[in-house]
Amino acid sequence: MPLSFESLAEGAELPNQQRTPSTEQVLAFCDATGTRGPQFLDPEFAKEKMGLPGPIIPGNMKQGFLDQYLRRHFGAHAITRLQLNHRRPDLHNVEMTIGGEVTKLREEDGKRYADLELHIDNPQGDRSVRGAATIAFD
């Protein structure tokens, strides 16, 4: 059941969700979106050329995960803003924890909005993405 504006409170946390994108999923994502970059699929390139621990999850794939996370909680209410700061790479086949918090509830020109902070954490508890979003309620 999607969350209503009335059910929200500033400071309230949204439930966490775990995602573990596999290499096959990353490949399918890159195919579907035309995302190019050997750092996403080539272990040798990621390690030798980029200095990364292994191939990484594309930033816009994490954007897709956050979009899904928001729709899961807010249903058809419109996402009018979604921002992500990519702070650390996330690796294939490693669990990510997606979470969020309501930071502000407001009304403007007769419309109601919820501003949110979002994040993605890796298994070490490091924040790989800090994000923000705004949901417009009908």
Partner 1 sequence: MSDDESLITPAMEAAIGSEGTPATDTIDAHRVLRLMRALNEADADLLAAAESGDTSYPMPTYALLTTSTRQEQLSVPDTPERALMAADAWQVSAPIHIGDTMTIVPRVAEIQERIGGRVGHSLFVHHEWVYTNQHGQEVARVRRTVTHFQQRHTGE
Q: Which helix (H) or strand (E) holds 62?
A: helix 59-74
Amino acid, res. 67: D
Pairing mode of beta strands 78-86, 127-137: antiparallel
Identify the residue among 5, 12, 23, 29 touching partner 1 (CB under 8 A). Answer: 29
Distance from C-alpha of 41 to C-alpha of 56, rounded to nearest angstrom: 7
* 4 contacts partner 1 (rule: CB under 8 A): no
Distance from C-alpha of 62 to C-alpha of 90, rounded to nearest angstrom: 9
We find the least distance from the C-beta atom of residue 61 to partner 1, in angstroms, to be 7
* 16 contacts partner 1 (rule: CB under 8 A): no
Binding mask 94-123 for partner 1 (x = CB under 8 A): ------------------------------
Distance from C-alpha of 97 to C-alpha of 118, rounded to nearest angstrom: 11
We find the least distance from the C-beta atom of residue 119 to partner 1, in angstroms, to be 14
We find the least distance from the C-beta atom of residue 85 to partner 1, in angstroms, to be 5
Residue count, binding to partner 1 (CB under 8 A)? 38
